[in-house]
Amino acid sequence: MATTAPPRDAPPRAPLKTKAERFWFRVSAGLEVNQLWSQFEKDARSSYRFYSADLGGELEGLSGFRRITHIAKTLFWAIMEKLSPARRVLLLFGLIFLFLPTGGFSYGKAGQVYAVEFDPHFWGGLLLLLVLLLELADRVVMKRDLEIARDIQTWLLPGAPLQLPGFQIAYATRPMNTVAGDYYDVILRPGETRSDDRVLFVVADVAGKSIPAAMLMATFQASLRTLSASNVGLQELVSRLNRYACSNSQGGARFTTAFFAELDPATGVIVHLNAGHNAPILRRSSGVIERLETGGMPLGMFPDATFENAISTLGAGDLLVVFTDGVVEAINAKGEEYGEPNLVRTIDSGFSGPPSEILRTLLANLDLFVGNVPQHDDMTCLLLKSN
């Protein structure tokens, strides 16, 4: 399992002399107390949100003791039902033993009285430890499998940004879990001559989370790569991709929103199509903001869906920002969303710099905004700027 190391710019740590210091360093992975508390707070929020999902609106109209009792009962069953039946029994007996008073009995033999005490707390703790060990074994195996899936997913995404004369590119993604349902790509579509070459930019968001979304993302990437090699226009490319997505979307339940932009590097002309995705921001060098909304519905819903593309031109200094909803819907401790106004302000404040610097500033602002609050969606952003 991965551990968190101290920051690179942290002062050198004094050599660990005692066994206690070495033991604590191994347990805490070298984190300071405030870092440990921050990590615990984030884990606690995430766990509570996970277990309290079953509460729903049933708390309306309840108050006082009835409300507390209902919450405790619902959380109890939410935890129990996530265990196998055998582990539920172990956990139940462990909890019962913890609340039993210490007892015992005495008996006489050969004129002597012997007392036998039974401490149920010890056995209750032992049963709880056993349940923890069984769950930990499952978690370690699952974590290893997820890390392998994450590595495979990383291989599917582009590495260093493509070097295009006259343009700068930057992109990043932050999965909510180990693997993500967000997808971005930069694909070169060679023409008959070098002057006919086009570059396809794609940002997509598969409905769902974790492994199911990641698997659909992989099929989306494979089909897009295959179809983009054909000599068809963007509109026809998306239509074919939609028909393929419909065969894997479980009747439209696993749809995909996506934005496609095909750039002619020689002229700066982009043909773009928005398939139900968040409208990208085209920030002109003059400060004017345009939203690229033309397109159609998400992919994977209806095989006969029609799509429409539009054409824009990137002039010197113009910046295109494509993002998934996890960016603007990031929430803080107050339940407030980051929102598109904050995104636009960040773009405006760093507009004169390169896309890589704008992206770093955006991610730093997001970190500052959300703090330790676990997020409910992946975050992906792609920036394209004309020199």
Return the beta strands (E) in 252-294 as ranges.
256-264, 269-275, 281-283, 289-291
3-class SS letters over 200-222: EEEEEEECCCHHHHHHHHHHHHH
Structural domains of the chain sorted by starting position, each given as residue range(s) with its CATH number in brackets: 19-151 (no CATH), 159-386 (3.60.40.10)
Residue 114 burial by Cβ neighbours in a 10 Å radius (0-12, 13-18, 19+): exposed
Asked if residue 147 lies in contact with residue 178, where contact means CB atoms within 8 angstroms, the answer is yes
Residue 216 pLDDT: 83
What's the chain's Rg over C-alpha atoms?
28
In sequence order, which residues have a C-beta less than 8 Å from that of residue 162 and are 6 or more positions away? 169, 186, 188, 199
Q: Which amino acid is at 373?
A: V
- What integer pLDDT is reported at residue 251 of this predicted model? 67
Task: Give me the pLDDT at residue 24, please.
Answer: 83
The pTM for the full model equals: 0.71
34 token code pair: 């405030």
Q: From the first residue on, what is the mean pLDDT of each consecutive set of 10 residues in the chain (387 residues)?
A: 42 67 82 83 75 63 75 81 89 90 71 74 92 88 76 74 88 80 87 76 85 82 89 92 84 84 93 95 93 93 92 94 93 90 91 91 92 85 93
CA 342 to chain centre: 20
Predicted pLDDT of residue 5: 42
Structure tokens of 249?
């979307």
For residue 15, the model assigns a pLDDT of 66
Type of residue numbered 322: V
| pLDDT at 340 (0 to 100) | 92
Q: Which residues of 208-236 are buried (b: 16+ CB within 10 A; e: fewer)?
A: bbbbebbbbbbebbebbeebbeeeeebbe
Q: Look at strands 379-386 and 167-174 and give their pairing.
A: antiparallel
User: Which residue type, as a one-letter code, is found at position 285?
Assistant: S
